[in-house]
Amino acid sequence: MRTMKLWYCLVLFITSEKGVVRGDDSRYLTGYDGLNFTGAHYQFTEYTPDLSVVQMDNSIESLCITGQWHAYDAVNYDPNMTQAACLWRGVGFCWNTSCTNAISSVRYAGSPYGLNDDYYNLYEGTYFRGKEFRGNTNAGNLGELDKAVSSLVVTGQAAWTFFTGVDFTGSSLCVYADKHFTDGVISFDTTYFLNMDELGLPDNSIRSVARGCLSERVLGHPGGEPAPSRR
Ligand SMILES: *[C@@H]1O[C@H](CO)[C@@H](O)[C@H](O)[C@H]1NC(C)=O
Ligand SMILES: *[C@@H]1O[C@H](CO)[C@@H](O)[C@H](O)[C@H]1NC(C)=O
Ligand SMILES: *[C@@H]1O[C@H](CO)[C@@H](O)[C@H](O)[C@H]1NC(C)=O
Ligand SMILES: [Ca+2]
Ligand SMILES: [Ca+2]
């Protein structure tokens, strides 16, 4: 079996805890083409499907971020879902990335309206790759991502309940963000599931999502199970 190369690694969390803290009040990703935040750089605030457009293709070596950002070896967030992906998150953190000189597209997870607004992002591929279905309201069906979701992110302080049937039927579980980042002023709550095994549902089984905790099975806080990958 071909082993998929995934740079995603827990080192990112360790380094992020030790990173340099800088003040900023909104989501951004500043990528530098040298280590130690040197060289040419670009500040991303939006989804960017092709980094060559800003002369940063395959060149990022260090970065500073606020929010949660997903970075892909392939352009267009890896529509074929075959390449490596990297996860970066924090509030005002800076570090050298292990995903050196390979990133070709980046997008954030979370609300486009406010860093810590209540939001969910669902992805077609594991590791946040491929097509996306996202929102801040109930969805009785997931359109193109019907029976296709393989990874997800929840941000903000609300719970979201994911169902295996359309219109909020079938098996369900509810997810709260379980990781809190802050620089003392700005806060960001988030959680992620790299695949459906982590979540505890079959792959490609989610068919609807509702705001609030409408299931007996609770992941994150308060009083629920911690998310599996962070145990
Ligand atoms: C990076 O910064 C550290 C600490 O300031 C310094 O010791 C090191 O030499 C720098 N490395 C490079 C490659 O600039
Ligand atoms: C996806 O796969 C197709 C067919 O193999 C290929 O032509 C295309 O370049 C790939 N796209 C990306 C972004 O890798
Ligand atoms: C980044 O890498 C440089 C060169 O290896 C090193 O000197 C520096 O301490 C690293 N910086 C951080 C924040 O890890
Ligand atoms: Ca690349
Ligand atoms: Ca899928």
CA of 38 from ligand 1 middle (Å) equals: 10
CATH topology for 112-230 is: Gamma-B Crystallin; domain 1 (2.60.20)
Q: Where along the chain do its domains lie?
A: 11-108, 112-230
pLDDT higher than threshold 90 for residue 197? yes
The position carrying tokens 């805890």 is: 17
12-16, 46-50, 158-162, 188-192, range with the lowest pLDDT: 12-16
Q: Check for a shared fold between 11-108 and 112-230.
A: yes
pLDDT higher than threshold 80 for residue 213? yes
Residues 145-172: tens digit of each pLDDT: 999 999 999 999 999 999 999 999 999 9
Q: Whose CA is nearest to atom 7 of ligand 2?
A: 80
- Name the closest ligand to CA 126: 5
Residues 10-45: tens digit of each pLDDT: 333 333 334 454 444 589 999 999 999 999 999 999
Q: Name the class of domain 11-108.
A: mainly beta
Contacts of 42 (CB under 8 A, 6+ apart): 30, 31, 54, 55, 56
**From the alpha carbon of 76, which atom of ligand 2 is closest?**
13
CA of 193 from ligand 4 middle (Å) equals: 23
Give phi and psi for 14, each to the nearest 5.
-65, -50
Give the chain's mean pLDDT.
88
- Name the closest ligand to CA 77: 2
**From the alpha carbon of 18, which atom of ligand 3 is closest?**
13
Residues 100-150: tens digit of each pLDDT: 999 999 999 999 999 999 999 999 999 999 999 999 999 999 999 999 999
Contacts of 207 (CB under 8 A, 6+ apart): 141, 142, 146, 147, 163, 164, 165, 166, 170
- Label residue 59 left, alpha or beta by phi (over 0 means left) and psi (-120 to 50 means alpha): alpha
Task: Measure Cα distances from 157 to 103, 110, 120, 179 in Å.
Answer: 30, 12, 11, 10
- Label residue 3 left, alpha or beta by phi (over 0 means left) and psi (-120 to 50 means alpha): beta
pLDDT, residue 30, reads 98
In this prediction, residue 193 has a pLDDT band, given cuts at 50, 70 and 90, of very high
pTM: 0.86
pLDDT, residue 220, reads 85
